[in-house]
A = this chain, B = another copy of it.
Amino acid sequence: MTGQGNTAVGRPRSFDTDEALHQAMLVFWKQGYEGASLTDLTGAMGITKTSMYAAFGNKEQLFRKALERYTDGPAAYGLRALEEPTARAVAAAFLNGSVRTTTQPDCPAGCLGVQGALAAGEAGTPAHEVLAEWRNVAGRRLEERFRRAAEEGDLPPGASARRLALYVMTVAFGIAVQAAGGIGRADLQEVADAAMDAWPA
């Protein structure tokens, strides 16, 4: 029950935790969980190891917080897309957002949720599982949105919400892989457009 009021007692923190977390996110994004050493992380964050442990716990918890920040920041297009008026617009907005975020000039190429720990050794297993769940949650959100669209008559009777959600997520993940390999934004936007040709009705 440690009070979290703004009455500061003790020596005040000399760095901005938000900015430090942002830098850590960028390192994880570029190098992956196992490829990012504490030296890489704290170097980019501009703090020492002790400060990082005091502020964030350990490497794994730092990664989880960096992923939350990624979700609310660069990956926010995911939730925004769900608010589009039609299922088709939702799918297009999701794919377009993934193209834009995975090819942002001032950020690492690709998607943290995909390349953060797609394969991992023993040390990276927790991160691997966290990211797999992160991707599945996104897919479930999309599926629920499409199910609602089906109930509203926004999708043809035969369409499967689950199948459509899986398809859109799969194309988005593929876009992330291509971006990580250096494929440019214009090419990937064409891919996103081509993917929408498979949309029903």
Interface string of A144-177 (1 = CB under 8 A from B): 0000000000000000100110110111111111
Q: Are the CB atoms of B178 and A177 closer together than 8 Å?
A: no
Number of interface residues of A (CB under 8 A): 53
Partner of A191, one of B40, B170, B188: B170
Beyond A34-B121, A132-B181, list 11 extra A-B contacts (CB 8 Å): A31-B120, A34-B34, A35-B123, A35-B124, A37-B121, A110-B118, A132-B180, A167-B191, A172-B174, A177-B177, A195-B195
Q: Could you give 5 example pairs across A and B, Cβ below 8 Å?
A: A32-B118, A118-B118, A170-B177, A174-B177, A198-B198
Q: Does any Cβ of B come within 8 Å of A54's Cβ? A: no
Q: Does any Cβ of B come within 8 Å of A190's Cβ? A: yes
* Main secondary structure on A side of the interface with B: helix
Q: Does any Cβ of B come within 8 Å of A183's Cβ? A: yes
Q: Does any Cβ of B come within 8 Å of A116's Cβ? A: yes
Q: Are the CB atoms of A119 and B163 closer together than 8 Å?
A: no
Partner of A173, one of B36, B40, B167, B177: B177
Q: How far is the CB of A115 from chain B (nearest CB, A)?
A: 4
Partner of A190, one of B166, B172, B182: B166
Q: Does any Cβ of B come within 8 Å of A197's Cβ? A: yes
Contacts of A182 in B (CB 8 A): 132
The complex places the Cα of A37 from the Cα of B183 at a distance, in Å, of 30
Contacts of A114 in B (CB 8 A): 118, 177
Q: How far is the CB of A71 from chain B (nearest CB, A)?
A: 16
